[in-house]
Amino acid sequence: MIKEILLPDLGEGIDSAEVSDVFVSPGKTIKVDDIILVLESEKASMEIPAEIEGKVKKVLIAPGSNVTAGQCLITVETTGKKTFKQKVKEKREPSRPATIAAVDPKKQRKVKQDRDGTFASPGVRRLSRELKIDLQTIKGTGPKGRVTKEDIHSFIRNKMEGFGGRPYRPGPEIDFSQWGKIATQKLTKIKGIVARRMQQSWQTIPHVTQFDEADITDLRAHRQKLNKDAGTKKQKVTFLPFFMKTVAELLKEMPTFNSSLDYKGENLIFKHYFNIGFAVDTPAGLMVPVVRDVDQKNIIEISTELQDLSQRARDKKLKPSELKGGTFTISSLGGIGGTFFTPIIDPPQVAILGISESWWEKVYDHKNKTTRPRYILPFSLSYDHRVIDGAAAARFTSRYAEMLASADNCK
Ligand code: CAO
């Protein structure tokens, strides 16, 4: 026997509603209380359950279609046998024709605002539960900010494509060999990972870069003395340990630069540890190992650790844990060259220092009216403008220059 399931009166003055999800298809066997579809109206979302069992013959609606009370939704081939529920119901309501009463409006589960303050249909809630997605983190595009199934899909798409950005599309395939000889090289795994992280950072963080210079003449002299005193027994101490130690001290003074935005983008998390990551140029690609608790270590300890970590980065012998937990990063190109550059932030950090190669310069001393040769370090600070204001960034670089010039952090 073929029976029609009709849309019942939706109540609350709702004349029509939009189908947001359909859970049945021709040939599917349904039981009493199985959810056939989810409707979204201006006022509420509701699941429509079946009150007869059988095999679905035709589905007359689709997601996006508008339905009105009394409209046929699906047809079902029933066995003709009555379920216990139906027999009880017919006893109670003998005059009600079974085909029209296939769906009981009282059974519609309306969902308005949930306890978490979000609007979503039961189907969407179920989907978010299955995918372990917190609906509060999704911006709903439905009426009154309701989270729709499409919102969940685009949230996942964005996550997969780099947290909010569009994936890198190199464009149409070009045959470069038409203009001359070519060679193709597969990107290393590390280069692939770095490319994704950099793209994600560049697309999701509003970067601003502040440039500055520091007089490191005294620091240079101190480094020279340190290396001379150590003789040939120890490995040479470069400038980088001083830059790391100084920045750790500065991060204590200006904790926002050592913070992270939480996953909702609503709170700042301040870290009371100072783990400084540093970029290492390796044949396989860029790696950023982390020196932990830099503020608690002396220059020799930091130097030993960074030399060990950079060697093992180049030998591909770093443990995954040695690449994690950084709170701030320094990218130093000082040993290679260049004046200034704009480093890309390593999320979830909020700032990164880019160090370039120092130069000698004649600096006019206004007080003594003399000109003296000074060793000048050019550096840049890229920062997340959602978290750090321009004034704070300028204060940070000025203070950093001041601290390096006084060479207080040389111990
Ligand atoms: N000004 C002048 N001299 C500098 C300098 C600076 N800012 N920075 C380094 N130097 C000197 C060093 O002191 C050393 O001099 P000596 O031979 O007299 O000791 C020399 O340059 C070579 O240093 P180094 O680069 O080998 O060592 P480091 O500790 O300064 O840096 C490391 C270590 C791992 C950061 C570096 O080897 C490296 O890989 N740099 C590249 C990082 C990178 O690729 N960054 C870009 C990432 S994309 O944003």
Tell me whether residue 383 is exposed, middle or buried, using C-beta atoms within 10 angstroms of its C-beta: 0 to 12, 13 to 18, 19 or more.
buried
For 196, left (φ over 0), alpha (ψ -120 to 50), or beta? alpha
Q: Which atom of ligand 1 is nearest to the CA of 336?
A: 25
Query: Is CATH 3.40.50.1220 the classification given to domain 2-110?
Result: no
Mutate to test the pocket of ligand 1, among 194, 219, 332 (most ligand atoms within 8 A of CB): 332
Rounded average pLDDT over 395-408: 93
What is the β-pairing status of strands 207-215 and 29-30? unpaired
Query: In this predicted model, which residue has the larger pLDDT, 380 or 367?
Result: 380
Token pair of 180, please? 């001359």
Per-residue model confidence (pLDDT) at position 159: 72
Ligand 1 site: residues with CB under 6 angstroms? Answer: 236, 238-240, 278-281, 286, 310, 331-335, 343, 355, 357-358, 377
Cα 305–Cα 311–Cα 316 angle in degrees, nearest 5: 120
CATH T-level fold of 112-161: Dihydrolipoamide Transferase (4.10.320)
Question: 110-113 — which CB contacts under 8 Å span 24+ positions?
Answer: 110/44, 110/45, 110/46, 111/44, 111/45, 111/46, 112/43, 112/44
Assigned CATH class of 190-410 = alpha beta
Q: d(Cα 163, Cα 274) in Å, to the nearest integer? A: 26
Per-residue model confidence (pLDDT) at position 110: 46
Per-residue model confidence (pLDDT) at position 127: 85
What's the chain's average pLDDT?
Answer: 85
Per-residue model confidence (pLDDT) at position 93: 47
Those residues with Cβ within 8 angstroms of residue 17's Cβ, 6 or more apart along the chain or in another chain: 10, 39, 40, 41, 46, 66, 67
- What are the tens digits of pLDDT across the range 75-99? 999 876 655 555 555 555 444 333 3
Q: Which amino acid is at 262?
A: D
pLDDT band at 46 (very low <50, low <70, confident <90, very high): confident
pLDDT at 12 over 50: yes
Q: Which amino acid is at 301?
A: E
Half-sphere exposure of 123 (CA within 13 A, CB side): 24
pLDDT band at 178 (very low <50, low <70, confident <90, very high): very high
Domain segments of the chain: what residues?
2-110, 112-161, 190-410
> Same CATH topology for 112-161 and 190-410?
no
Per-residue model confidence (pLDDT) at position 119: 81
